[in-house]
Chains A and B, each alone.
Chain A
Amino acid sequence: MWIPIQINELSAEPLYHQIEVQLRALIVSGQLAEGTLLPSIRELASMVKCSVITVRRVYQDLENEGLLRTRQGTGTFVAKVGDEMRDVHRRSAVIEAFESAVEAGVRVQCGEDEMREILEEILRKRREG
Chain B
Amino acid sequence: MFTEETVIEVRGVVQRHKHFQLGPVELSVPKGYVTAIVGPNGSGKSSLFRLLLDLSKPDEGEMTVLGERVGGDDRQLKARIGYVPDQAIDIEDHLRAEEKAAFASMWYPGWELNRYQELLRRFEIDPSIKLGKMSKGMRRKFDIALAMAHNPELLLLDEPSSGLDPIAWKTMIDVLHRYMERGDRTVLMASHIVDEVKRLADYIVFIVHGRVLGMFEKDALLESWYALYIEAGSMMASWKTMPGYRKHEQVGAQFKVVTGDVPEAERWCAEQGLRITGRQKLELDDILTVLIEQERLRMHS
User: What is the minimal beta-carbon distance from B292 to any residue of chain A, in angstroms?
Assistant: 24
Q: Is the CB of A42 within 8 A of B199?
A: no
Residue A54 at the chain B interface, CB threshold 8 Å: yes
Chain A residue numbers with a CB within 8 Å of B277 are: 107
Residue A122 at the chain B interface, CB threshold 8 Å: no
Q: Is the CB of A53 within 8 A of B177?
A: no
Chain A residue numbers with a CB within 8 Å of B199 are: 46, 49
Chain A residue numbers with a CB within 8 Å of B177 are: 42-43, 46
Q: Is the CB of B202 within 8 A of A53?
A: yes
User: What is the minimal beta-carbon distance from A40 to any residue of chain B, in angstroms?
Assistant: 6
Q: Is the CB of B279 within 8 A of A12?
A: yes
Q: Which of A9, A41, A46 has the most CB of B within 10 A?
A: A46
Q: Is the CB of B281 within 8 A of A9?
A: yes
Scan B104-139; emit 1 where CB is below 8 A from any A CB, else 0: 000000000000000000000000000000000000
A9-B281, A12-B279 given; A50·B219 CB < 8 A: yes
User: What is the minimal beta-carbon distance from A10 to any residue of chain B, in angstroms?
Assistant: 7
Chain B residue numbers with a CB within 8 Å of A21 are: none
Chain B residue numbers with a CB within 8 Å of A46 are: 173-174, 177, 199
Task: Scan residues 185-228 of chain B and give those whose CB is less than 8 A from a CB of chain A.
Answer: 198-199, 201-203, 217-219, 223
Task: Scan residues 152-168 of chain B and give those whose CB is less than 8 A from a CB of chain A.
Answer: none
Chain B residue numbers with a CB within 8 Å of A53 are: 33, 202, 217-219
Q: Which of B33, B177, B198, B219 has the most CB of A within 10 A?
A: B219
Option from B173, B183, B218, B281 in Cβ contact (under 8 Å) with A51? B218
Scan B22-61; emit 1 where CB is below 8 A from any A CB, else 0: 0000000000010000000000000000000000000000
- A-B pairs with CB below 8 Å: how many? 42
User: What is the minimal beta-carbon distance from B175 to any residue of chain A, in angstroms?
Assistant: 11
User: What is the minimal beta-carbon distance from B24 to any residue of chain A, in angstroms?
Assistant: 27
Chain B residue numbers with a CB within 8 Å of A16 are: 219
Q: Is the CB of B181 within 8 A of A43?
A: yes
Compute how far the CA of A46 lies from the CA of B279 in the bound complex, rounded to whole angstroms. 27
Compute how far the CA of A43 lies from the CA of B199 in the bound complex, rounded to whole angstroms. 11
Residue A14 at the chain B interface, CB threshold 8 Å: yes
Residue B180 at the chain A interface, CB threshold 8 Å: yes
Q: Is the CB of B219 within 8 A of A15?
A: yes
Q: Is the CB of B181 within 8 A of A51?
A: no
Q: Is the CB of B281 within 8 A of A10?
A: yes
Compute how far the CA of A92 lies from the CA of B198 in the bound complex, rounded to whole angstroms. 30
Q: Is the CB of A15 within 8 A of B223?
A: yes
Option from B33, B183, B202, B223 in Cβ contact (under 8 Å) with A14? B223
User: What is the minimal beta-carbon distance from A25 to any residue of chain B, in angstroms?
Assistant: 20
Residue A52 at the chain B interface, CB threshold 8 Å: yes
Option from A9, A12, A42, A49 in Cβ contact (under 8 Å) with B180? A42
Q: Is the CB of B279 within 8 A of A42?
A: no
Q: Which of A16, A40, A43, A53 has the most CB of B within 10 A?
A: A53
Compute how far the CA of A15 lies from the CA of B180 in the bound complex, rounded to whole angstroms. 21
Q: Is the CB of B198 within 8 A of A52?
A: no
Compute how far the CA of A101 lies from the CA of B219 in the bound complex, rounded to whole angstroms. 24
Task: Scan residues 78-116 of chain A and give those whose CB is less than 8 A from a CB of chain B.
Answer: 107
Task: Scan residues 255-301 of chain B and give those whose CB is less than 8 A from a CB of chain A.
Answer: 276-277, 279, 281
26 residue pairs bridging A and B, Cβ less than 8 Å apart: A9-B281, A12-B279, A15-B219, A15-B223, A40-B181, A41-B183, A43-B177, A45-B202, A46-B173, A46-B174, A46-B177, A46-B199, A49-B199, A50-B218, A50-B219, A51-B33, A51-B201, A51-B202, A51-B203, A51-B219, A52-B202, A53-B33, A53-B202, A53-B217, A53-B218, A54-B219
CB-based closest 9 A-B pairs: A51-B202, A46-B177, A54-B219, A51-B218, A15-B219, A51-B219, A14-B223, A50-B219, A42-B181
- Starting from the known contacts A15-B219, A42-B177, A50-B218, 5 additional A-B residue pairs (CB-CB under 8 Å) come to A41-B183, A46-B174, A49-B198, A53-B202, A53-B218
